[in-house]
Structure formats: structure tokens, C-alpha cells
Amino acid sequence: MPLCQKKWTEITSRSLLPGDICSIGRSKPIYRGQDMTEPIVPCEMLLLHGGCVVNEAMLSGESIPLRKEALDVAHYDANTKLNVDETNLAMKKHILYGGTKVLQFTNNVTTVGRLPSIPDPPEKGCIAFVLRTGFGTTQGNLMRTILFSAPRVTANNKESMLFILFLLCFAVLAAGTVLQQGLNDPTRNTFKLFLHCVMIITSVVPPELPMELSLAVTNSLLSLTKLSIFCTEPFRIPFAGKVDVVCFDKTGTLTSDALEMHGVAGLQSTSLVALEDPQQLVAPAALPTSIQLILAGCHSLMALDGKVVGDPLETTIMSHVKWSLRPGDVMLPHLSFVPGPKSMKIVHRYAFSAELKRMSSIVVLGSSTESDSLGVKLLSKGAPEVMESLFASIPDYYTRVYKHYALKGCRVLALGSKALSTRDLQRLKTIARSEMEKNLEFGGFLVLDCPVKHDTTDVIQELKTSKHVLVMITGDNALTALDVAKQIQLASHLNTLILQPSKTKEDALVWVDPRFDKASTKQLPFESNQETMASLAASTNLCVTGDALTLLTPAQLQLVVRHACVFARTSPSQKEAILDALNQCGFVTAMCGDGTNDVGALKRAHVGISIINNPDQPTTTPTEPSSSHVVKFGDASIASPFTSKQPSIRATCQILCQGRCTLVTTLQMYKILGINCLLSAYVLSSLYMYGVKQGDMQMTVVGVVIALFYLFLSYAKPCTRLSARRPLTRVFCLSVLLSMGIQFVVHLATLAAALDVALPFVDMDDPAMHPEAKFRPNVLNSIVFVVSLHMQINTFVVNYHGAPFMQSFHDNRYLAKWTYLSYSLVLIALWEVFPPINDLLELAFLPSFETQVHVTILLALDTVAVLGLEAGLQYLTARYPALMA
């Protein structure tokens, strides 16, 4: 419902334009029976008043509801230019994205005064400003990506064009030879001569190349979809076969979202609980009321349909405290007779920020009498090293306690609070967040455990075996990240060094052993040279903190990313910078994350993989043909090209395996097309001068046979495990060019030998042998047809690589059966086993048994020669990859 001339009117969502003011509330159904309990946002809007709870699974794949808050317009004037781009993470909490569902909406009547020029909407909905519509929205960008990325999977790239030009050189040479000889023959028709030269040139420009390459990628898409992996940018699949470095987020990716709360450590001596050691954990049930308030009131959870939904970490905390969340952000204790507040209402939140690494909320405590208030408090939790500067005072054991649990791989959050006055609450919108969150009272350390997912270690081992460089990039504590890295064997050395800013020298970096961070003798100055870094990385796990990244120059960052295995306490922008540095170093990168916090890094990587941790997602893979190939919103993600519905990093190996298979299949097709085109140019040029032609039925049969070979070749499935051997990534490398050249020479020699066998049985003065005469079956045409068809079959068999990148030749049942059937057709035609086949193929009967034996020997020699030479070449490629690749 938009605002028009200060009056609310009803129009269709299609009529909305950027700049309109509209109300988000209960919509009327468009058709009978339509479910309007969860209205869909029609375009992208900026919330000006009220609040919403939305489900953005349509875009990100994450089913966790998100809270959207109104932008405080009082802080801006008419000349302020807001950055409302989707890359601005700070603004995302104020934007409703098109295609998302509104689960709840509220219109706080106490704050209408903030928008005095806008009347209240009749249905008491939220007031929003239209930012983008149609294909300009995030949903529109996703739709455009899904619809129009497929044409990019064609031969229209630099390497394909160079490959065609390479073949064209041979075609021009062959056509020039035919043209020269034809012009010297006065009996030749000049028009037909030029037409034949054009045919020779066009024969080496394979028109089916784009189709064959697209076929390989399309079948790869279908294979990934059956594994619940969806891809919006198919051209990324071959990139997956070239990946050198695989980066992982930690929380929700390597570790499970099913957190376990151990308790609170570091309670002060003034606590109600008697403690002998500050490292001792206190169970949630035994915590003092002040700590219970922090755990129960500092969160972004919401009550939806009688359930508490939101961040898994916060839902875990809420399940352990003696408070329950009710609609309207009201908290009630489980037992009303327990001393302390009888209610707690969250009146304002400072949302969690990956840059600030903390969140806070302001609550009003209530007594048994609704009119009485027990005061206002600010409750806060965040990273211990960040919160340290916000506390008015800290105990001497502060660092020792939180590092003790961080070294065990636990997730540690520092808790704090402070009392506020009613005057502070009234001035809430004019006081900066940094001012509100200072001088906190330390409340202890919340200790949670993020168990490693059951198959994470196996996947990491497989990736290490396949010689991939593995990197962890996380926003968590460095000690926690290192412990998890050692658990999953991503960090395999005994010793560890952390790069962090020096505490004694400004703008200086030092390597610190986490066990002796206070001992200056255990600190090493950072030296930005390759030899020192390589020497350290050879025997030590290197970890880099986000604070250290801010002090590194671009050149130093490129040096560090080559050797560090863990990056901790990194912000989203720093994750992007790390991926950028890896790309600039010449690596092909893959990034695996949870799809929401790592959007920037996922898009920077060559291969971005979103892992959707959806507990409601079925573990079975789709088998229905009607749905297995359809990519729907909610399957694809705005975060990255690949979206996996499996809550496991196993999808990373599956994508890399499929990428290698697709890459090898693509190179095979280049080689096969190249060799067949060169043979066609020879047949149409040199052999054409001898009167060699093909009948219509022969050309039809050859076309069908070759087309089915290409189809079955693209059916090849990847191997189930990654190999340490890397596939070739370029057409113009020594291995591919030698392979094509050797096979072409062998086939050329075989054709020349077949020509010698057939020429004694034909009369070259016969008018039927004239190049421009009509096709008539004879011994020469028949032998050349049989030999050339056999060589084309050999080309597919020889260039099918199989293991270790794809299933073996015999495991590809369709290809193997079609190969044997095609070989049988050649032998049946050669030995005239079933004469009607020879008649159908327009073949002349061979003059003698010796001729058949001679041709059979030629076919056998051609097969053995190309198989043997290709096997030797593949051995050399595996033995000397740097030279051959």
C-alpha cells in the first residue's frame, strides 16, 4: 500500500517505483485460496518505521529468520547520501530484500513521531522506502545469473579461438594445394573448385564445438544437482578442476552449528558461588542472577509461532537459562518466586557486527508490579580481546582464563553489563554506541564447544592427499581456530606461531608462540622475505590475526598468504582481501563457507561454495527426473556460484572431482575434434585428387556414430576420490600438442598405406574417378571409408583418459558398448559378413581375401600404435608435469 499525496492507496506491486513510500502489512490474496500469512516482499525496500522478521531462504538458502530494524532517520538530513548497496553489511539489517517472506511485522506507535510527515498506515504496517525493483534487485540479479550464465559456457573464449586458428592454418594449406592443382587443370570448373576449397576450410572449424562443450558442462550440472549441489554459473565448473588452494570458514562449516554450552568461567570472588579457581566452570543453573540476565537478555532471538528462532549459538544459550522469550521481546523467568526481576524487556539492540566483534542490548527490568521498574541495564557479550578495553576493570587472570579454554578449541565470549539511568534511555538515539558500551562490569567468560562435523577430518585428509593447499579463515579466536585446525589435521606441525601487532613497538609485527606470549624470548620479529617465511612454514603452523592484517602492505600480504594456514579474528572485508591476495599470487582458489557471513570471500574466489546448514533439509538426494535438473530460488544462493544443501564440506570434494572430470572431458573433446578435423582436411584435399568421395549414406552413418560418441563421452562420471595428480588445464601445452601431432601422423601413415593397397584395383582414367564426378562405389572409396571410420573410433578410445579423473573406459558402460558395436560394424563391413550392410553403406566388395587381411592388419597397427604412443606420452606427462603441462 503506497503513499500518494499524503494518502494511503492500494495498487499492485508491479506499479511500485524507486522512491515510493509504502506500507508492509497483511496483503490481500490475489487469487482464491492464496496463503497470505507470510507476505512476500515485492521489491527491495529500506525500513523507515517499525520492524520485521523475515525469512531470506529464497536468496541465501539459510532458513533462520532474520530481524530487520528501521533506519533511524533522525540522524540524517535531506542532503545525506546513503550507501544502500548490498555490499554494505551495516545497512543490511535495515533492508527488506525482494522475494523474501515477512514472518512478523510490528509498528511501534510510541515512535511515530520520528516520521511526522507520514500518516499512520490503515493496517498498522511497517513504513518502507522503495529502493530497487525488477531485475535491479538482489533477487533479479540472482534470476539473471541463473538465466543468462549458460551462454558463457561456449567456445567463445580466447583459447578456443586460438585453437580454431591453429586448425585453420592446416586447412588453408590443404585448400591452397587443391586450388593450385585445380587451376592447372583446364577441365575443372572454377566455381566448383573454389566451392570445394571453401568446404576444406570450413571442415576444420568444428561447428559442433560450442555444443559439445556445453553438453559436457550440462551433464556436470545434472550430476551435481543429484548430489543436492546447485550451480548458478556453469562456467565455474571447469575452474573447479584447476583449484590449487581451498579456504574454509570454521564455524558452521568445519564445525557443527549444534553448540554445547559448558558453563561460565572467570567469575569474580564477589560471586554468589564459592570458587577456588577462576578457571572453574559454573553450570548455568548455579549462575548468579546478574549473569543470568546477560545470558537471557543479550541476544537477537525472536518468538515465532511459539518457538524461539534465531542464531544457533543464542538458541543454545537460551535453552540453558531460567528465562523464556515471549512475543514483543519480553523475557519472563521460569520460576516467579525466585528473587530478582520478574520480567525483562529488550528496548534496543546494538546488533552483532563482524567488524566490532560484539553485540549489546538495553533492557528494562520489571518487578511483580507492572508499573514499577527495577532499572535499566546494558548487557553485552563479545570477543574477549575486544571486550577487554570496554571493561572498567578486569581481574588479573583475565587473559589466562580465556586462553585456557580457547587452546582447547572452545568458543569463548566475554560477558559484561552496566546500569543505565532513565535519562540515558531517553537520550538513546543521540548517544554513540561506543559511548554506551564503555565502562562495563566484567561478568565472566561464557564457554561453548563447537564439535567438529563427523566427516570434516576425512575430507581434509582427502584434500591434503590430493596436494591441495588448505587454509582456514575465521572470525573466531586464534587459539580456538588453531586447536580446531590441529583436530582436523589441517595444521600438522607441532609448533605454532601467531602473527600479531607488537605490544612494545608501534606498527610492528611479531611472531608469538601462544604458549609463551608474555616471554619476549619467544617472540620473533616479522621479516617480509620469501626465504624466512618458507623456513618458518616448513616446521611451524603459521596463524595470522586480523589486527596483523591491517598492518601488512599488499606485497607483504601476498607473501603471508602463501605460507599461513590459519587466519583468525578476520572481518568480512579482510576475508575478501585474503582471497584477492591468493588470486594475485596466481592460485586458483575455492572458498567454502556458510553462505551468509562469507559472501564477499565466496564471490572473490574462483569457486565459491555455500554450505547451507538447514536441519530440516532431507538427507536423501532427489531422484525424480522432473525435479532433478530444475534450479529454483532457495536452491541457488546469492552468496556463491555453488550452493550445497548438504551440511558437510564433502560437497567441496564432490565439486572438485566433478570439475576435474569436466575439465578433462573438455580437453578430450578439443583433441578429438582437432584430430578428426585434420583428417577431414586431408581426405578432402589430397585424397580428393585421387577421386576419393563419400556417399550420402556413408556421411549419415559417420555423423550418427560420431554424435553418439560425443554424447556418451559427456556421460563420464568423476572418480569418487581426488587424486594427487593434476589434470592438464590448457589446450596449448606440450602434452596436448604432441598427442594430437603423433596421432595425426600415425593416422596419416595408415591412410597413405590404405591408398597404396586400393590404387591397384582402380582405373585412374575412369571418368568416375574425376574429382568432380558423382559418387560411385569402388574399392578405393570403400577402403578409405572403412579405414577413416576406424581411425575416428580410435580417436575417441585413445583420448579417453579415465582414472584418476573420471571412471574408466569399461565403467562408462554406454561408451564401451557403443565402441564395441562400432568396431563390429567396421569389421562386418570389411569382411562382408552381412552383405546388406555393405549395400546400405554403399560399399564395393573387396577383390580378394588378401586385400581384406591387408586392410585388417593396417587397422590393427593403427590401433596399437596410437594406443601405445598415447600411453607413453601420458606416462611422461605424469612423470614430468612441469615440462609437459
Reduced 3-state DSSP string for 826-839: HHHHHHCCCHHHHH
Measured distance CA(212)–CA(155) in Å, rounded = 9
User: Whose grid coordinates read 589486527?
Assistant: 547
Measured distance CA(328)–CA(110) in Å, rounded = 14
CB burial of residue 357 (10 Å; 0-12, 13-18, 19+) = buried
State the cell numbers at 146: 541463473
Measured distance CA(780)–CA(801) in Å, rounded = 34
Reduced 3-state DSSP string for 740-794: HHHHHHHHHHHHHHHHHHHHHHCCCCCHHHCCCCCCCCCHHHHHHHHHHHHHHHH
DSSP 260: E
The DSSP H or E segment spanning 425 is helix 422-426
Measured distance CA(318)–CA(530) in Å, rounded = 49
Q: 320 near 261, Cβ under 8 Å?
A: yes
User: Whose grid coordinates read 587473559?
Assistant: 399
Is 490 in a helix, a strand, or coil?
Answer: coil
Q: Please list, in sequence order, all residues whose beta carbon lies within 8 angstroms of the beta carbon of residue 366, skipping any fewer than 6 positions away.
A: 341, 342, 343, 344, 345, 372, 373, 374
- CA 4 from chain centre, in angstroms, equals 44
Read out DSSP for 596-623? STTHHHHHHSSEEEEE---TTS-SSPP-
Catalytic pick from 77, 185, 249, 763?
Answer: 249
Report residue 831: phi and psi, to 5°: -95, 5
Residue 205 burial (CB count, 10 A): 14
357: left (phi over 0), alpha (psi -120 to 50) or beta: left
Is 424 in a helix, a strand, or coil?
Answer: helix
Q: 440 near 391, Cβ under 8 Å?
A: yes
The CA-based diameter of the chain, rounded to the nearest angstrom, is 119
DSSP 84: -
CB burial of residue 602 (10 Å; 0-12, 13-18, 19+) = buried
What is the gyration radius of the CA atoms in the chain, in angstroms? 35
Measured distance CA(557)–CA(564) in Å, rounded = 10
- CA 173 from chain centre, in angstroms, equals 45
Q: 334 near 327, Cβ under 8 Å?
A: no
Q: Tell me which residue of 324, 360, 359, 362 sits closest to 343, measured CA to CA.
A: 324
Enumerate the β-bridge partners of residue 346.
363
CB burial of residue 308 (10 Å; 0-12, 13-18, 19+) = middle
Q: 203 near 699, Cβ under 8 Å?
A: no
Measured distance CA(858)–CA(756) in Å, rounded = 11
Q: Is 249 a catalytic residue?
A: yes
User: Whose grid coordinates read 555393405?
Assistant: 838
Show which residues are catalytic.
249
